[in-house]
Amino acid sequence: MTDGQSAGSPVPTGDAERAEPVWVKSERQLRREAELRARGRRSVSVATASTIVVMVALVAGITSSPGWPRVQELFFSPQAFVDALPDVLRGFLLNIKIFLIAEVFILVVGLLVALVRGLRSPVFFPLRALAVLYTDVFRGIPTILLIYLVGFGIPALQLQGTPSDPVTLGIIALVLSYGAYVAEVFRAGIESVHPSQRAAARSLALSHGQTMRHVVLPQAVRRVAPPLLNDFVSLQKDSALVSVLGPLEALRQAQIHVASSFNYTPYLVAALLFIGLTVPLARFTDHLATRIARRQTGGGTA
């Protein structure tokens, strides 16, 4: 090695650097990024300002209305809030129980009905017709009406072994109503799986059932997860409809407090509890939907 080369000049690595382009941000790119940052700051301040203006206008508008002192006393009484909270919260636990149990049965009923509607064999014609009839009828009846019909109709039959507990009857009514919706969601998911997937499965000699079980359903269920969760957000609040049959759930407890105190704040308590439960689930649904959308645009095979 000669003196000239020993001066620390890394000859081989220098070659490698010349072969690989190295990125140093250009003046133009730096200016561009500075401009984008400035714009970002500007839009944040505009959004903040407009939010404050709207909020102030809303609050001022409501509180300056002639009836506001009366409304504040009737709906926003801290004392009534604290008094009602324990009972309403206890009732709310029953709502959670109702919708958790109903959810499981709804998924089973919905999936079964959707699968039955997809059966081709003539042997299953009566089942298929029943499934169509079921979705048609129960999607058409308002949920609250269905709860009345089931809640007062089934016990009136006086049959051996039929439930008479209002909670059970309420759950049955919710399952019947939501099962019809969820069946349609599942059916849409099953039909959204490309026919080429079925062709591939059938060409491998998988039977209709195996094709459904291993190829179609796993893809369908992933696709319908967001709309299903959306239906469950809706089910959570509809669990309050069971109150018409008398069980002491959140809305019923609130009604009792309202009736004894002539103050409507307990309703606000119940409303806040429902919001507290549905908001996280709604956010989770959004999150799941974006994740699925990202996966699908990330490259899928038909």
**Contacting residues toward another protein, per CB under 8 A:** 196-197, 199-207, 210, 214-215, 218-219, 222, 298-302
Phi, then psi, of 263 in degrees rounded to 5: -130, 135
Taking the complex as a whole, the smallest distance from the CB of residue 194 to another protein amounts, in Å, to 8
CB 242 within 8 A of CB 167: yes
- CB closer to another protein, 64 vs 301: 301
- CB closer to another protein, 98 vs 216: 216
Taking the complex as a whole, the smallest distance from the CB of residue 204 to another protein amounts, in Å, to 4
- CB closer to another protein, 32 vs 295: 295
- CB closer to another protein, 100 vs 206: 206
- CB closer to another protein, 128 vs 222: 222
Taking the complex as a whole, the smallest distance from the CB of residue 295 to another protein amounts, in Å, to 8
- CB closer to another protein, 221 vs 233: 221
Sequential DSSP letters for the chain: --TGGGSS--HHHHHHHHHS------HHHHHHHHHHHHHHHHHHHHHHHHHHHHHHHHHHHHHTSTTHHHHHHHH--HHHHHHHHHHHHHHHHHHHHHHHHHHHHHHHHHHHHHHHHT---GGGHHHHHHHHHHHHHHHHS-HHHHHHHHHHHHHHH--TT----HHHHHHHHHHHHHHHHHHHHHHHHHHHS-HHHHHHHHHTT--HHHIIIIIIHHHHHHHHHHHHHHHHHHHHHHGGGGGGG----HHHHHHHHHHHH---HHHHHHHHHHHHHHHHHHHHHHHHHHHHHHHHHT----
Taking the complex as a whole, the smallest distance from the CB of residue 110 to another protein amounts, in Å, to 21
- CB closer to another protein, 141 vs 206: 206
Taking the complex as a whole, the smallest distance from the CB of residue 297 to another protein amounts, in Å, to 11
Taking the complex as a whole, the smallest distance from the CB of residue 301 to another protein amounts, in Å, to 5
166-192 vs 78-117: helix crossing angle, rounded to 10? 50
- CB closer to another protein, 115 vs 235: 115
Taking the complex as a whole, the smallest distance from the CB of residue 105 to another protein amounts, in Å, to 26
143-157 vs 166-192: helix crossing angle, rounded to 10? 130
Taking the complex as a whole, the smallest distance from the CB of residue 188 to another protein amounts, in Å, to 18
